[in-house]
A and B are shown apart, each in its own frame.
Chain A
Amino acid sequence: MKDIKVLGTGCANCKATIALIEQVAKARQVEVKVEKVEELREIMGYGVMSTPGVVIDGKVVHAGGIPGRDKIEQWLAA
């Protein structure tokens, strides 16, 4: 199971990112745990400057803007 964290202060893009990840995971039948990180201190701890950021199993894979569908599929496939 993949542990996914979405970093963001609660803007529309962050919500869209979470929805998209869950959608792709469901379509590909990958088990994921998606968690929203809204605490600024924690977000900064990952060294991310532009939100939304995506962290998979403790590693930052994306920062700034809603990730593309193909990108998410790559993360889930790996």
Chain B
Amino acid sequence: MNEAALHWPQRNPRVFLLVATVLWFGLYQTLQPASEALVAAMPVARDSHLGGALQFFLYDTPKVLMLLAGIVFVMGMVNSYFTPERTRALLAGRTEGVANAMAASLGVVTPFCSCSAVPLFIGFVQAGVPLGVTFSFLIAAPMVNEVALTLLFGLFGWKIALLYLGLGLSIAVVAGWVIGRLKMEAYLEDWVRDMPRVQAIAADVRMPLSERIGAGFASVRDIVGRVWPYILAGIAIGAAIHGYVPEAFMASIMGKDAWWSVPLAVVIGIPMYTNAAGVIPIVQALLAKGAALGTVLAFMMSVIALSLPEMVILRKVLKFRLIATFIGVVATGILIVGYVFNLVL
């Protein structure tokens, strides 16, 4: 029986996906009443601060974890269609412009690990992907990813998630395009420029649906297994603030009226190095304490997209001037996003 259950996704992948989807939605619907019931069973008053905080924590934790598991699973399957080799073949030899937008979008769906950033970079350039297009990919891939979007959606709602997606992609497209216009090919390290050109060929790997499901499970194990402590911390902070009266502590430092708060957020974010999940608890705390949304999003983008360790590795393939340009262009983009946000909202 157990054996049969284990091999079920392999034998009947379509049926498995259908049943898993129905179960997922069913379970998701029960989270709200279940959390209320749990709090009611506890010896605390529901309308007290503690009761409110407990209900928030008991509802948000499984909600965000379920959302994350579901979306990471789907993205794991989607990722199996977009190998880096395939993405490179799609981008090679294209002219800039539309290709920047393509590269940024592909950056979202191509599996990407920050330790692969440099080999990927060289591989792209070697196959004739224009430098600016390569940068569009390299900026979007870490910044706009399913973990960041899911957490923003789960904790702050779909509007903020959608804004982050749109603005992140815009920064990647425009920054890549600007770097392309600056014609900085001469600032690649010499050995990179002298590498033999390669043809971008993507082997057409046919993968059965059952294997894609396996890839989905693998990424859930990997990603959710890695980020859940950060999420718990983020929700705990949110719950603590939720139940009690929010102070406007940060409003004076990081509020809308402080013009210098956005550049400060970006500058503080650059040396910080963490993934999208790690920054969420901080974002949660800042927002709740009255920091302006644009400032907080600028901070989050800066932490994820620009990191000192990555620059150190990139230095092996880029000359200093190109790295400085890269940081400058992306930081300017983030800055504009922060200001526009604070102005509009």
Contact = CB atoms under 8 A, between A and B. Distances in A.
**Interface SS, A side:** loop
A40 B126 contact: no
B182 to A, nearest CB: 24
B119 A9 contact: yes
A12 B309 CA distance: 14
B120 A50 contact: yes
Interface residues of A, number: 19
B176 interface: no
A49 B120 contact: yes
A13 B119 contact: no
B84 A44 contact: no
Interface in B95-145: 111, 113-116, 118-120, 122-124, 126
Contacts of A12: 115
Contact of A13 (B83, B113, B124, B218): B113
B195 interface: yes
B113 A49 contact: no
A56 interface: no
A41 B191 contact: yes
A11 interface: yes
Contacts of A40: 118-119, 122, 316-317
Interface in B13-50: none
A34 interface: no
Given A9-B313, A49-B84, A49-B120, A44 B115 contact: no
A14 interface: yes
B198 A64 contact: no
A49 B119 CA distance: 5
A43 interface: yes
Interface string A32-71: 0000000011011001111100000000000011001000
A11 B316 contact: no
B113 A11 contact: yes
B118 A9 contact: yes
A64 B317 contact: no
Given A40-B316, A44-B126, A44-B195, A49 B115 contact: no
Interface in B169-197: 191, 195
Nearest to B191: A41
B84 A13 contact: no
B88 interface: yes
Interface in B287-336: 313, 316-317
Interface in A1-27: 8-14
Q: Considering the complex of A and B, which 9 residue pairs feature the smallest CB-CB distances, nearest first? A: A11-B115, A49-B123, A50-B116, A49-B84, A51-B116, A50-B84, A49-B120, A44-B122, A49-B119
Interface of A: 8-14, 40-41, 43-44, 47-51, 64-65, 68
